[in-house]
A and B are shown apart, each in its own frame.
Chain A
Amino acid sequence: MAEMWISMGPQHPMTHGLWTLKVKVDGETITDADPELGYLHRSVEKMGERRKYFMNTTLPDRLCYASSTTWTHCYVLTVEELMNVEIPERAKYVRTIMLELQRLASHLMWAGSYMPDLGHITGALYFWRDRELFLNLLEVPSGSRLLYNYIRIGGVKRDLPDGFVEKAERVMKLFEQRLDEYSDLFENSKIFRMRTEDVGKFTAAQAQNLGITGPNMRGCGTKFDLRRNDPYEIYEEIDWDIQTREAGPGYGDCFSRYMVRIDEMKESMRIIRDCFKKMPKGPTLASTIPVRAQGEAFRRTEDSRGEALMYIVGDGTDRPYRWKIKSPMFTTISAAPHYLKGYKVADIPAIMGSVDICIGETDK
């Protein structure tokens, strides 16, 4: 067989969204790759410039359908910096709890969609079953299951209801039991390791040069997490650790990225439990919130997939003059040729699935 280009996408089981990966294959070996983006562009930034600051909280919700609260939070944090809003202490704790619940749901969504990429349908159903538990939890205070619009400028929409802590404890206990069960099915399974180990490798230096952030970068041994390195909300006061994989044989591959996400889920539950312990009483929304803003503000937060960056310029009116969003997945997908070359066709879904693609935030 001569070398040929295969177009995977925009409608292909591998893509998880609307994008195209063109790969040049020599038999079964990948010799070149060319990702194409832009099928899902909804001009969120431009839309935001026509709407008021407090109306805009619904837009970043729709940036990533798997991790919407974290994006709203990034926007709200930037606007609060722009407007110099101080938020109540309890609101910070509630936000942290919601962010970590969202991270759990997002990682579970990733794990669920990664398993069919390897040909393991049962894994998908197991992880989505567990994601359901956390969606139920997120539904309790916010009232919706996918697009929450819960975090507002100046705090959160409403306080956590009675019984939330007990419910969350039950869910987390159940989920911890299940994670132990899954370890036999996934990380201790010979075939799962055959498919994920030493596949799609990139080093820490490569990740820094290519702009790959988040769990993908922590998978190759870099101890960098914005929750600790550029802290926001109350992550400073909470007792938790950055989850990385030690440098050694097989680090920076699909398996290490899988393990980092599993460890992060356990760590998220630790953060939530600590928040429950330390949470003070009080209001959850600032008493006065300005409508207009002048100047510019920039914030970055640790999204479920990497560094989410937002830059907002205000010109004194009640609408942003410029709103810039930088998504972690945009750089990660663009770097695909660097970590795809040399592997087999069967590795394409295994590699592209392992970096946790979300096209909504990539195309904005």
Chain B
Amino acid sequence: MTLFGACRIMAELSIRILIPIFEFQEGLFPPFSNPAGWFADWLATDGGLDTMAWFYAVNIALMVGMTNLILVIHLERKIAARIQDRRGPMLSFRSLREVGEDLSGNAPSWKFKENYSGIGILQNVADGIKAFTKELIIPTKADRFLFTMGPIIFISSSVFLLALFPLSDRFAASSAPAGLMVIMAAFSIAPIGILTSGWASNNKYSMIGGMRSAAQLMSYEIPLLLSMAGVFLVAGSFDPVTIVEQQRESTWLFGLPMWNIIPQFIGFVVFMVCILAEVERVPFDLPEAEAELVEGWTTEYSGIRFMFFLMAEYIRGFAGAAVATILFLGGWAGPWPVPPEIWFLIKVYLIIIFWIFIRWSVPRIRTDQILVLGWKKLLPLSLINILIVIFMVEIYPYFTAIVNLPEVF
């Protein structure tokens, strides 16, 4: 059963409660309350049920995404604290006994099981309450309309992403044939929000941050799409489900699965670098370089607007890892006893943990360096990847047909 099928059943169940309520309202003040009746009639039709089912499906996808967002933030905090050897309030009381005095010359021993209580996840709740209760400041000379629109564009395009990628062939809020193209289109709306809010803040740091975002977009977007093109050529489709099915079916030596990461390793590396720039994590968080631009384009924002930026960044990170999983790591393909959705999330979280390790162990690179990286290194590499794929898909099968070559690909 697919997610949509389940939602359809839920919709059918819920109209049994909803229709009597609307009919009761219709009888209250005729003829003014007639629209309630019309709405009840529409709900009972096929179109009404489908609409309601879509509504449920999208909300479930949103809830799954938001739960993962909280987990990702929690994971980032915990791993950062471990990497940085920090003794914060989240670890302190029980771990201090074990760490003891460093002068002994022994490395501090932290036992995960004893220290981890999971209570730190409540920090997200505290952050949310803080962001909601803070004052929303708009600078006097800022462009009020664009200043308000910036965060809305950024968060809405990011949350939109959650509805676009499937967690498995049955757990999907939407199934567009051009699914990955839509995802990449939604990804590249956000820099417009950054540019807008950077300009509207009427602050020099914010403006430089917004400009950097535009420069960055130009350097990574082309190699990103070219590295994805290899996968599309192999699968012959933009549909996530088809791409994953193709990877699931192709096998390698000893029947091992040949996910796209093996034949298109160059493409995978290019994609991982570019998607890191796309989701603006260290070392590519140039637009909000806190050392020189204070906080870049988010300098003037406060309260829930600032929180929107923070949330959207993590949602985009999660979506970026999901796209990488679908394209190169075989999506939800995996051995039987574990459900495919869990396989998908395991792979996504492995990528996210890898990103967290990168974030806390490298410095930020410079604007001119990312341009050099994008145009001089990643672009030729992604073209080489496409050449390899063309050889693999078109030329090699042609020779195997004439000469007796083994079928490698």
Residues from chain B with Cβ under 8 Å of A136 in the complex: 103
CB within 8 Å of A: which B338-355 residues: none
A126 to chain B, nearest CB (A): 7
Among A6, A191, A348, which residue has its beta carbon within 8 angstroms of that of B362? A191
Question: Is B45 part of the contact surface with A, judged by Cβ < 8 Å?
Answer: no
B204 touches A6 (CB 8 A): yes
Most chain B CB atoms below 10 A, which of A119, A136, A171, A349: A119
CB within 8 Å of B: which A128-185 residues: 129, 132-133, 136, 167, 170-171, 173-174, 185
In the complex, per-residue mask of A279-311: 1 if CB is within 8 Å of any chain B CB, else 0: 000000000000000000000000000000000
Residues from chain B with Cβ under 8 Å of A8 in the complex: 292
| Beta-carbon nearest neighbor of A191 in chain B | B362
A121 and B282 CA atoms in complex are apart in Å by 11
In the complex, per-residue mask of B280-314: 1 if CB is within 8 Å of any chain A CB, else 0: 00110110011111100000000000000000000
| Beta-carbon nearest neighbor of A190 in chain B | B362
B363 touches A185 (CB 8 A): no
A73 to chain B, nearest CB (A): 26
B360 touches A121 (CB 8 A): yes
A171 touches B103 (CB 8 A): yes
A57 to chain B, nearest CB (A): 29
A191 and B102 CA atoms in complex are apart in Å by 30
Residues from chain A with Cβ under 8 Å of B94 in the complex: none
Residues from chain B with Cβ under 8 Å of A1 in the complex: 207, 211
Residues from chain A with Cβ under 8 Å of B212 in the complex: 28
A121 touches B84 (CB 8 A): yes
Question: Is A14 part of the contact surface with B, judged by Cβ < 8 Å?
Answer: yes
A224 and B365 CA atoms in complex are apart in Å by 33
Question: Is B259 part of the contact surface with A, judged by Cβ < 8 Å?
Answer: no
Question: Is B89 part of the contact surface with A, judged by Cβ < 8 Å?
Answer: no
A192 and B291 CA atoms in complex are apart in Å by 15
A119 touches B103 (CB 8 A): no
Residues from chain B with Cβ under 8 Å of A13 in the complex: 290-292, 294
Question: Is A345 part of the contact surface with B, judged by Cβ < 8 Å?
Answer: yes
In the complex, per-residue mask of B231-257: 1 if CB is within 8 Å of any chain A CB, else 0: 000000000000000000000000000
In the complex where A125-B84, A346-B367 touch, is A174 in contact with B292 (Cβ < 8 A)? Answer: no
A346 touches B83 (CB 8 A): no
B85 touches A126 (CB 8 A): yes
In the complex where A133-B103, A171-B103, A195-B365 touch, is A119 in contact with B291 (Cβ < 8 A)? Answer: yes
Residues from chain B with Cβ under 8 Å of A98 in the complex: none
Question: Is A358 part of the contact surface with B, judged by Cβ < 8 Å?
Answer: no
A118 touches B364 (CB 8 A): yes
Residues from chain B with Cβ under 8 Å of A4 in the complex: 204
Question: Is A189 part of the contact surface with B, judged by Cβ < 8 Å?
Answer: yes
In the complex, per-residue mask of A113-127: 1 if CB is within 8 Å of any chain B CB, else 0: 001111111110110
A197 to chain B, nearest CB (A): 11
A195 and B282 CA atoms in complex are apart in Å by 14
CB within 8 Å of A: which B59-103 residues: 83-86, 102-103
A151 and B367 CA atoms in complex are apart in Å by 48
Residues from chain A with Cβ under 8 Å of B291 in the complex: 13-14, 116-119, 349
Number of contacting residues on B, CB 8 A?
34
Among B286, B363, B368, which residue has its beta carbon within 8 angstroms of that of A192? B363
Residues from chain B with Cβ under 8 Å of A52 in the complex: none
Among B104, B363, B366, B369, which residue has its beta carbon within 8 angstroms of that of A120? B363
B365 touches A194 (CB 8 A): yes
Most chain B CB atoms below 10 A, which of A8, A14, A122, A136: A122
A222 and B367 CA atoms in complex are apart in Å by 33
A8 and B292 CA atoms in complex are apart in Å by 8
A8 and B293 CA atoms in complex are apart in Å by 9
Residues from chain A with Cβ under 8 Å of B319 in the complex: none
A292 and B212 CA atoms in complex are apart in Å by 63
B367 touches A194 (CB 8 A): no
Among B204, B286, B290, B363, which residue has its beta carbon within 8 angstroms of that of A195? B363
Chain A interface category by residue count? 35 or more
Residues from chain A with Cβ under 8 Å of B204 in the complex: 4, 6
In the complex where A122-B360, A346-B286 touch, is A174 in contact with B105 (Cβ < 8 A)? Answer: yes
Question: Is A363 part of the contact surface with B, judged by Cβ < 8 Å?
Answer: no
Residues from chain A with Cβ under 8 Å of B282 in the complex: 119
B290 touches A122 (CB 8 A): no
In the complex where A119-B282, A170-B103, A194-B369 touch, is A125 in contact with B85 (Cβ < 8 A)? Answer: yes
Question: Is A347 part of the contact surface with B, judged by Cβ < 8 Å?
Answer: yes
CB within 8 Å of B: which A325-357 residues: 344-349
In the complex, per-residue mask of A14-33: 1 if CB is within 8 Å of any chain B CB, else 0: 10000000000101100000
A173 and B103 CA atoms in complex are apart in Å by 10
Question: Is B208 part of the contact surface with A, judged by Cβ < 8 Å?
Answer: yes
Question: Is A12 part of the contact surface with B, judged by Cβ < 8 Å?
Answer: yes
Residues from chain A with Cβ under 8 Å of B85 in the complex: 125-126, 129
In the complex where A121-B360, A126-B85, A173-B105 touch, is A195 in contact with B205 (Cβ < 8 A)? Answer: no
| Beta-carbon nearest neighbor of A199 in chain B | B366
Question: Is B123 part of the contact surface with A, judged by Cβ < 8 Å?
Answer: no
A144 to chain B, nearest CB (A): 18
B363 touches A115 (CB 8 A): yes
Residues from chain A with Cβ under 8 Å of B83 in the complex: 122
A120 and B291 CA atoms in complex are apart in Å by 10
A170 touches B105 (CB 8 A): yes
B147 to chain A, nearest CB (A): 20
In the complex where A13-B290, A119-B285, A191-B365 touch, is A174 in contact with B360 (Cβ < 8 A)? Answer: no
A194 touches B366 (CB 8 A): yes
A272 to chain B, nearest CB (A): 16
Among B84, B86, B208, which residue has its beta carbon within 8 angstroms of that of A345? B208
Residues from chain B with Cβ under 8 Å of A25 in the complex: 208
| Beta-carbon nearest neighbor of A11 in chain B | B294
A191 touches B283 (CB 8 A): yes
Question: Is B361 part of the contact surface with A, judged by Cβ < 8 Å?
Answer: yes
A240 to chain B, nearest CB (A): 25
In the complex where A13-B291, A119-B291, A121-B360 touch, is A347 in contact with B366 (Cβ < 8 A)? Answer: yes
B102 touches A28 (CB 8 A): no
Identify 14 residue pairs between A and B in the complex whose beta-carbon atoms are under 8 Å apart, listed by A's number: A13-B290, A119-B285, A119-B289, A119-B291, A119-B363, A122-B83, A133-B103, A173-B105, A189-B362, A191-B363, A192-B363, A194-B366, A345-B208, A346-B366
Query: A residues near B, CB below 8 A?
Result: 1, 4, 6, 8, 12-14, 25, 27-28, 115-123, 125-126, 129, 132-133, 136, 167, 170-171, 173-174, 185, 189, 191-192, 194-195, 344-349
Q: 8 closest A-B pairs (Cβ-Cβ)?
A: A119-B364, A118-B363, A120-B363, A349-B291, A125-B84, A346-B366, A119-B363, A122-B360
Query: B residues near A, CB below 8 A?
Result: 83-86, 102-105, 204-205, 207-208, 211-212, 282-283, 285-286, 289-294, 360-369
